[in-house]
Amino acid sequence: MHPNAVMLAVVLLGNLMLPFISAQNEPKINASDQIILSADSASKPVTLLCNLTTAQTPHTESFWMKNGLEIANTRTEQRNTAYRITKPRADDSGEYMCVYTFVMAPNANATIEVKAKPDITGHKRSENKNEGENAMLYCKSVGYPHPTWTWRKVDGTSYTDIDNSTGRFFITNRDNYTELNILNLDINTDPGRYECNATNMIGNNAETTILRVRSHLAPLWPFLGVLAEIIILVVIIVVYEKRKTPDDIIDDDEPVGQMKTNSTNNHKDKNIRQRNTK
């Protein structure tokens, strides 16, 4: 055989085998499949398994990470490592990784996705603002994958999309958070129930917030009512006293202004009487 041909064959074979060899050098991890948490399996515990099948160098230890952050108390030296979620909830969902560390090689990891329907954890039950002010409605959620948010207005059972013809509505969406800002509240069109809806590939969830707009003149009516009550009572008392006064001149016992001089004379007499008798 021609020596060049032999060299070419060796190079070709080497190239073909290189990925195979490097694959042989790379550690292999057997990881469990992705898990979808649903409402009915909420009480059943969930276990994520990782098994280091092949490795060139012995590994030092392994640990688990959730969404890029290490989970405490998961470091172990075993090849077979498991992470158990006893009562899985929506906020237990996320991207889990089992990571193996080596002495002379970079870390190896495998990803297991735990998916769940989004759960809305934070929202305002009601918001009361004055006419012309700005209102901010928000919703917070937990769950993976991150949901897409929509806002709607609810009238009993009918849903209407938010009409932004006036340009006063602004929606800001982030991974697990959404905000609906309404500027310059209008007392006629804006009050009502607003629903934030979080949807991901597993399912959706929604919560409503009631927005009330207070008019500037609203407290005036109760105030005038109380004022009327006070004036009526004062008039009644004044009239009652004026009508009582003529009767008092007859009665000795009633305390009256006009009686002042009389009563002081009596007072003096009584005093002298008391002194003399005792």
How would DSSP label each residue in the chain?
--HHHHHHHHHHHHHHHHHHHHHHHS-EEEEPPPEEE-STTTTS-EEEEEEEEE-SS-EEEEEEEETTEEPTT--B--SEEEEEESS--GGG-EEEEEEEEESSS--EEEEEEEEE--EEEEE-SEEEEETTS-EEEEEEEE-SSPPEEEEEEEETTEEEE---TTS-EEEEEETTEEEEEE-S--TTTS-EEEEEEEE-SS-EEEEEEEEEEE-TTTTHHHHHHHHHHHHHHHHHHHHHHHHHHHHHTT-SSS--STTHHHHHHHHHHHHHHHHHH-
Query: Measured from the CB of residue 257, what is the shortest distance to other proteins in angstroms?
Result: 5
Query: Measured from the CB of residue 138, what is the shortest distance to other proteins in angstroms?
Result: 16
d(CA 204, CA 198): 5
Query: Measured from the CB of residue 136, what is the shortest distance to other proteins in angstroms?
Result: 12
- Nearest CB to other proteins, comparing residues 170 and 240: 240
Query: Measured from the CB of residue 102, what is the shortest distance to other proteins in angstroms?
Result: 46
Amino acid making up residue 16: L
Query: Measured from the CB of residue 264, what is the shortest distance to other proteins in angstroms?
Result: 5
Query: Measured from the CB of residue 224, what is the shortest distance to other proteins in angstroms?
Result: 8
Residue 34, strand partner residues: none
- Nearest CB to other proteins, comparing residues 56 and 263: 263
Query: Measured from the CB of residue 132, what is the shortest distance to other proteins in angstroms?
Result: 12
- Nearest CB to other proteins, comparing residues 119 and 131: 131
- Nearest CB to other proteins, comparing residues 77 and 269: 269
- Nearest CB to other proteins, comparing residues 136 and 162: 136
**Contact status, residue 96 vs residue 111, Cβ threshold 8 Å:** yes
d(CA 185, CA 108): 55
- Nearest CB to other proteins, comparing residues 33 and 253: 253
Query: Measured from the CB of residue 151, what is the shortest distance to other proteins in angstroms?
Result: 24
d(CA 115, CA 227): 62
- Nearest CB to other proteins, comparing residues 160 and 264: 264
- Nearest CB to other proteins, comparing residues 21 and 237: 237
**Interacting residues toward other proteins by CB under 8 A:** 128, 130, 214, 218-220, 222-223, 226-227, 230, 233-234, 237-238, 241, 253-257, 259-261, 263-268, 270-271, 274-276, 278
